Structure 1
Amino acid sequence: MAKKPIPSRAVATKDPIVSSAHLVSPRSAEMSEFEFGLIVSGNAFHRWIVHCMSAAGLKDLTPLDVLVLHHVTHRARDKRLADISFIMNVEDTHLINYALKKLQGLGVVASSKNGKEVTYAATEEGRRYVQRYREIRESCLINALKADEGLNRDIGELARLLRVLSGVYDQAARSAASL
């Protein structure tokens, strides 16, 4: 006689999947589910970008180092520290500055002075690593999506919602800071 599969607790009771049950609000259990998904996907994304850049040949970078290199390479325009921090929504500019110094030490980012202003740009070597990263990303990540148009539409909508929610979280942070 075959045994019946036992449904998981989440499926059987429709409990939200969360990391902090004590924070679940009866007005929005969905926000707690979203936050858990954000934690898990954020960590998976960070692991992915570090491994992808390592496969491209740049090892021992932190997720922030990888993101800074990508941003400095973006549109082939020199970037100021304040602009990098602003675009990446990183309040502590010293974290970005530390990543820039590390990337300069690796020879993938160079700085230049224009008057009192210091700007940063990817070097030719940095652009080669970013190009190799792109090739690996295409092969390992984009191909995994199998170019599913419906999924790509959903990802686009999710990106829009994440930008909206980042504004909600920023406003909530300002409110909390004023208490």
Structure 2
Amino acid sequence: MTSNSSSRTPEVAGTPIVSSAHLVSPRSAEMSEFEFGLIVAGHAFQRWVVHCMSAAGLKDLTALDVLVLHHVTHRARDKRLADVAFIMNVEDTHLINYSLKKLQALSVVASRKNGKEVTYAPTPEGKACVERYREIRESCLIGALQADERLNQDIGQLARLLRVLSGLYDQAARSAASF
């Protein structure tokens, strides 16, 4: 009996796992491996936030919608559309505006006019959904993580590295736009 697994290239210890072998640089194969991990983790994270919020009672939202609701709820301060886009590092404010309108239609976000500016804040229903999301997150994600102090420190270091790398990617994007 012939196995199909023999037709695949066996994984060699130390060989980076990448999505685009043609992009692997001899100067940093690790960056290609990081990018593949980021792709996979990014999609898994987006799937997670959508399913968690659905379990919390808000169905048919995109990951961006969920993250906009979380940011609008953040620190109990009204937010302007530009502030939400800036903090979330979303260049196209139309995407944020569309999410805000969708969340308003679901009565989980309300807008207020402050002079010439419009600000957004969660409604009591929005706050309740975010709190339920938090409870589900604690149960399904944090509970499964079983983090000790060392793992939490590693996660913190990884978060700092991701922020540094996001700055490098932003600068590289500006450079590439000038070509």
Q: Is 1:77 paired with 2:77?
A: yes
What's the counterpart of residue 37 of structure 2? 37
User: How big is the shift at 1:19?
Assistant: 0.3
The 5 Å alignment of 1:89-104 reads: 89-104=89-104
Secondary structure of 1:45's partner? helix
Distance 1:129 1:13 in 2: 45
Structure 2 equivalent of residue 15 of structure 1: 15
Q: Distance in 1 between matches of 2:50 and 2:149?
A: 27
Paired residues of 1:110 and 1:120 also in contact (CA < 8 A): yes
Equivalent AA in structure 1 for residue 128 of structure 2 = R
Structure 1's consecutive aligned runs of 4 or more residues displaced over 6 angstroms after TM superposition are none
Q: Corresponding residue for 2:159?
A: 159
Q: Secondary structure at the match of 2:113?
A: strand
Please report the TM-score for the alignment, with normalisation by the length of structure 1.
Answer: 0.94
The amino acid across from 1:105 in the alignment is A
RMSD after superposition: 1.2
Task: Quote how far apart the aligned CAs of 1:145 are.
Answer: 1.4
**Gapped runs of 5+ residues in structure 2?**
1-5
In structure 2, distance between residues paired with 1:106 and 1:74: 19
**Runs (5+) with no aligned partner, structure 1:** 1-5
Residue 114 (str. 1) matches residue 114 (str. 2): yes
**What secondary structure is seen at the aligned counterpart in 2 of 1:119?**
strand
| Secondary structure, aligned partner of 1:107 | coil
Given that 1:9 and 1:15 are in contact with CA atoms closer than 8 Å, whether structure 2 keeps it comes out as: no
The SS at the match of 2:120 is strand
Aligned to 1:88: 88
Cα deviation per residue 1:118-160 (whole Å; 9 max; x = unaligned)?
Answer: 0000000000000000000000000111132221111000000
Aligned-residue identity in percent: 81
Structure 2: distance between partners of 1:60 and 1:73: 19
Matched residue, 1:46: 46
Three-state SS of the structure 2 residue aligned to 1:113 is strand
Matches of 1:16 and 1:54, distance apart in 2: 36
Residue equivalent to 2:28: 28
Instruction: Number of aligned residue pairs: give it.
Output: 172
Q: Which residue of 1 aligns with 2:175?
A: 175
For the Cα contact (< 8 Å) 1:69–1:103, is it kept in 2? yes
Q: 1 CA distance for matches of 2:29 and 2:92?
A: 31
Scaled by the length of structure 2, the TM-score of the pair is 0.94
CA distance in 2, matches of 1:136, 1:107: 21
SS of residue in 1 equivalent to 2:142: helix
